Amino acid sequence: MNSELSERELQILLLVAQGLSNRQIAGQLDISDNTVKVHVRNIFVKINVASRTEASLYAVRHGLLLVENQPIGPTHIVERVPTAIPKDVARPLRRGRWMGMASLFGVAVAIGVGGLAWQVIQTPVTPVIRQQSSAPTRWSRLPTVPNAHPDQQLVVYASQLYAFAGNQSTQWLRFDSATRTWIPLADLPFVVPAGAKVWADGAGLWVVGSEDGRGVWRWDGKNWQTKPALPGNLKVVALVRVDGVLLVMGQMTSLTDGYSAWRLTSQAHDWQPGVGFADTLSDCQLVVLEGVVYLYGDGAHVWRLDASAQRWVADRNLPFVWSTGAVTTVLGSILVIDASSHALWAYVPGQGVVSKQIVPTQIALGRQVVAWQAQLLMPNLDGTIINSYQAVFQTFVPVIP
C-alpha cells in the first residue's frame, strides 16, 4: 500500500510512472543517480513489482496518476506537476524507450474522454496543422491576487500554487483551494523587483534577480536560503533548471545586443558562463523538454541548446511570428501561448507545430502559463485576470498484451 512508501519513494514512483529515467529523476530532485537507483529498488520490493512498467500500473491503480478527473495522489508529496494538455490540442505520440519494444502498447488514461483509449503510435514527417476552437465552457477565472500587478508571477511548488507580488515587494501568497482565496505568507527576506524570475521543481523554489537584481534565493519548503549572487550588470530575462543546473539568460549592460548565459550547479560557489545567444529577442523565453533547453522569442524561429557542441541549433520554425506569450511543456511537446494570434499552438521538436487551438476572443492572454490541478492558468498582461482553462491530463502507461 502507499503507506509503506516514504514521502521520497512516493515522489520517485510518480516520476517513474511519468516515464522519467533515473538520470532525469536525479536532476529533478537534485540527488545522485545512485540514490535514485537505490530508491527505485526499494520501491520495487515494497510494492512487489519487477519492472518500471509494473510500477507505473501500480501508480495508476492506487490513484497516484489522474484517472476520472481526480487529483494526483496525496497532494503533499507531489512535487512535479503532471503535464496538462487541452483536450482538443492534438499531439502525435512519440516513441519513448518503452514504446520501442514490440510487445508493448500505449494505453492513454485520459480524463474526460470516456476512459481508456487505444492509440496507434505514428510520427508524421510533415505535420498537418489541425485547427479547432476551444469550448468557452472550459474557461473560467481564478480569484485575482490582491493588489494585482503586471510583475506578479505564479509558480507551483509541491502541488501548491504561489504568487509573488513583484513590484519591489516582499509579499508572496499561497492559494487556498478550499476557500478559493489567496493567503498572505510571512514576508520574504528580500524584495522582488520587476524582471526577477521564479522557478520551481522537486528540488526547491528559486527566485533569481531579487533585491538589486543580483540576488538568488532558494526555498526548500521551510526556509529561504541565499545562493551565490548573479554577475554584476546582468538583467535577467529567462530562467530554467535542467539536470540540477540553474540556467539564466540575461542582458549585460556592457553589450548592445544579444544575451549572455550563466550556469549555477547545486554545489557551486559562483556562476559560470554558459552558451549565450547572439541576437536580441522580442520576448526571450526558455523551456525544458526531456532534459533539452529550447529558446523562443526570435520571431518565428525556435532554437535548441546542443549541450555537447555548446551552441544553439535551429529547430523547426513556427508558422507565425511569435512576440508576446508564454511556453510550457505538455506531454512530450511544447505548448506555445500566442497573445497576438489568440491561440494555443502545440509544437513538437523536430516536427514543428502540429495543431492550433483558437482561444475565445473574450480571453485576454499574457506572458505566463502555469499547469496546476488539471488547469492551465494564464494571467493577462496586467495581472488583473487569471484565466483558467480546464485541461485534460494524459499519461501513457505501457502494458503487456
Which is higher by pLDDT, 195 or 74? 195
Q: What's the whole-number mean pLDDT along residues 300-312?
A: 93
Half-sphere exposure at residue 316, Cβ-oriented, CA atoms within 13 angstroms: 16
> Residue 90: its pLDDT value, please?
35
Cα–Cα distances (Å) from 273 to 23, 247, 295, 337, 349, in that order, read 24, 10, 17, 30, 26
> Residue 341: its pLDDT value, please?
84
Nearest partner of 85 among 288, 287, 371, judged by Cα: 371
CB-CB contact of 157 with 222 (8 Å): no
Nearest partner of 285 among 259, 310, 263, 262, judged by Cα: 259
Return the number of other C-beta atoms located less than 10 Å from residue 6's C-beta.
14
Cα–Cα distances (Å) from 263 to 128, 243, 252, 292, in that order, read 38, 11, 15, 15
> Residue 105: its pLDDT value, please?
30
Residue 123, C-beta contacts closer than 8 angstroms, at least 6 positions apart: 92, 93, 94, 95, 351
Nearest partner of 288 among 322, 249, 340, judged by Cα: 249
Which is higher by pLDDT, 322 or 144? 144
Domains delineated in the chain: 2-122 (1.10.10.10), 132-389 (2.120.10.80)
Percent of the chain exceeding pLDDT 90 equals: 37
Query: Alpha-carbon Rg of the chain, whole angstroms?
Result: 21
pLDDT tier at 58, thresholds 50, 70, 90: confident
pLDDT tier at 155, thresholds 50, 70, 90: very high
Which is higher by pLDDT, 90 or 282? 282
Highest mean pLDDT out of 109-113, 119-123, 281-285: 281-285
Question: How far is residue 365's CA from residue 135's CA, in Å, rounded to a whole number?
Answer: 16
- pLDDT above 80 (res 65): no
Nearest partner of 341 among 362, 365, 317, judged by Cα: 365
Q: What's the whole-number mean pLDDT along residues 61-89?
A: 41
Grid cell of 382 as nine digits = 496586467
Q: What's the whole-number mean pLDDT along residues 36-47?
A: 91
> Residue 88: its pLDDT value, please?
38
Which is higher by pLDDT, 268 or 145? 145
- pLDDT above 50 (res 120): no
Length of the chain measured in residues: 401
pTM above 0.85, yes or no: no
Average pLDDT, the chain: 78
CB-CB contact of 369 with 131 (8 Å): no
Percent of the chain exceeding pLDDT 70 equals: 77
> Residue 127: its pLDDT value, please?
58
Highest mean pLDDT out of 18-27, 35-44, 128-137: 35-44
> Residue 86: its pLDDT value, please?
39
- pLDDT above 90 (res 83): no
Question: How far is residue 139's CA from residue 63's CA, in Å, rounded to a whole number?
Answer: 26
Highest mean pLDDT out of 15-19, 52-56, 312-316, 397-401: 312-316
Burial string for 264-303 (b: 16+ CB within 10 Å, else e) reads beeeeeebeebbebeeebebbbbbbbeeebbbbbbeebbb
Question: How far is residue 203's CA from residue 194's CA, in Å, rounded to a whole number?
Answer: 25
Torsion of CA 375, 219, 294, 87, to 10 degrees: -10
| Lowest-pLDDT range of 73-77, 130-134, 231-235, 249-253 | 73-77
Q: What's the whole-number mean pLDDT along residues 179-205?
A: 93
> Residue 255: its pLDDT value, please?
63
Residue 104, C-beta contacts closer than 8 angstroms, at least 6 positions apart: 53, 98, 398, 399, 400
> Residue 130: its pLDDT value, please?
67
> Residue 94: its pLDDT value, please?
37
> Residue 9: its pLDDT value, please?
87
> Residue 331: its pLDDT value, please?
64
Grid cell of 323 as nine digits = 512576440
CB-CB contact of 248 with 259 (8 Å): no
- pLDDT above 60 (res 209): yes
Q: What is the DSSP string of 50-83?
A: SSHHHHHHHHHHTTSS--TT---S-TTT--SPPP
> Residue 322: its pLDDT value, please?
87
Chain centroid offset of residue 120 CA = 26
Residue with cell 496543422: 129
- pLDDT above 70 (res 74): no
To the nearest 10 degrees (0 to 180), the angle between helices 7-17 and 52-61 is: 110
> Residue 184: its pLDDT value, please?
97
